[in-house]
Structure 1
Amino acid sequence: MKTIEENGLVLIIYKDKKYLKRVESGKSFHGTGGIINFADLAGTAYGMRYGQYQLFEPTLEDIIMYGLRRETQIVFPKDGYYICFKLNLHCGSRLLEVGAGSGALTCMFSRMVGPEGKVVSFEKDERHYRNAKKNIQRFAEWNNVELHNGDVTGYEEGEFDAAFIDVREPWLLLEKVRDLVKGSGLLGTIVPTANQIADTLRGLQDGFGDIEVMELMLRKYKTVAERVRPEDRMVAHTGYLVFARTLE
C-alpha cells in the first residue's frame, strides 16, 4: 500500500475537476468541495476519500496535464505515447529531441528510455529553455536528460537510436538530424498544418524511407450509466504526425 508522503504529489478530484498539488506541511487546499488540510494526508493511503474529494496517486499523464507550467503548446499525451511507440523507445534507448518547448514530451521520453537511456534535447528560446529545465527537474523520473539552450546544428555527438523534431520548420533540420541518427534509425515530427506536411515530405525524399503521415483522434464518453454518450466537447486537432526511417 503506497501512502501519501510529505512534499509528495497528490491528484485531487472533485466531480469533473482535477488538481495536482504538492503535500506541503502547514498548507491546505481550498476548493468548491471544501478545505483539505495537508497535515491530515501525510501517511494515509492513496485512493481515499476526503470529504467530497477523491485523492489518487498521480500518473505521468496527470503531471503533464495538471502540473507542468506551460509556456508553449505541448504535445498531448494521446500523441506523446504513440510517438514513443513509433520511435521504439525502451530502456537504454538514446533519443535526440529538437524543440523541447515546455518539456512535457521530454518528461515522457525520459520515462520511456529509463535510467540506462539518455535524452539529449535542444531548445533555442532561452525563456522556454528555463521553463523546460524547471519542469524536467521537478517531474522527470530519471536523471537522464541533457538539455541544451541552443541550436542542434552545431552538435556532433551522434549514433542516436531515434530523433523527434518539434519546431516550426522541421524540414530545415532533416539532413542534420539524419547525420546524428544511426542507420535504420527512427525519426518523428509533429506539425500543426497540412502545408507543413508537404514541406516535410519534400525534405524526406532523400535519405529516408518508410514514411508515414497520420492524425490521432481521441473522443471521450460520459461515464454516467443512465446516459452513456460522447462528451459534448473534444480536442478535435492537435497536430499531424510524420514518421520515417533513415535510409542510405
Structure 2
Amino acid sequence: GYHHFSDKLSISCWKEGGHGNVSVARAVAESCNSAFIQIGLRLGRARLLEFCHDAGFFSRDIIGYPGAQQGSKLDIDYGEAALGNASLGQKGVMMTPLQVANMVATVADNGLYKQPRLVKGVSKGELIEQQFSSDPGRRVMDTEVAQLLQEYLRMATTTGTGRPAYLSQVGSAGKTATSQTGRRDDAGEEILDTWFAGYFPADNPRWVIAVLVEHGQSGGYNAAPVFKEIAQRILGRS
C-alpha cells in the first residue's frame, strides 16, 4: 500500500494492504494512489504541465463573468516525490469545483474542451443588451482516449469507489477523490477535502456535477451520495 521514494519518504494508498497489480482501468475505479504516482512519473513533470496548460484545465476564464476564478494553481516542484504528490492532485495542484467539472465535461464530450459560460446574456426588459455565445470547443485529447476514460469512469461507479454515485435509471460515470489539506482540527485529526465529480447519463451525457465536501472522510462516503441526490432530483424534473 505504499510507493517508496527513499528510505525516509513514501506515499501510502488509502487501502492499507494495497491493491496489488492492477490495470489502469482498475486503478481509476479503485482510486489507487500508487498507480497514479507511477503514471505521473512515467509521463514526467514537463509533459504533465504541458498537457494541463494546453488543455485549459487550469484556465480561470468564464464566459460572461467579469473576473477570473480565484484559488487555483498548478505549480509542481522538481523531484520525483513532488511529481508523485502532484499526480494525486496534492501539493502544487489546486482546482476550483468549476474547473474540475469542466475537466470531467471534456472527457464526457469526447475530448472537446469548452470554456464554461456563466451568463447567457444581459437584458433590460425585452431588450437584449448583450449576448454571450457558447464556446464551440477545441480538441484537447483524441476521441479514442476520451472514450477509454469514459469506460474507466463508468467502472468507478459500478464496481469501484464511486458506487454510491451510481444511477440505476440512466447510469453515471465519475471519480472519487480525498485530498489532504495539511491542517488539523482541535482534536488533532487531519482535515480532509472529499470530492466526487462525474456526469450522467452514462451514454449521451447531459449533466456534469462536481461535489466538494470539506472536513469529510472520503469521496465515496461523503461526496458521491451528494452527486446521486442532486442527479436524482434533476432526473425527476426532466
What is the TM-score with the length of structure 1 in the denominator?
A: 0.28
Of structures 1 and 2, the one scoring higher in RCO (CA 8 A, sep 6+) is 2
What is the TM-score with the length of structure 2 in the denominator?
A: 0.29
**Structure with greater strand percent:** 1
Structure with max Cα Rg: 1
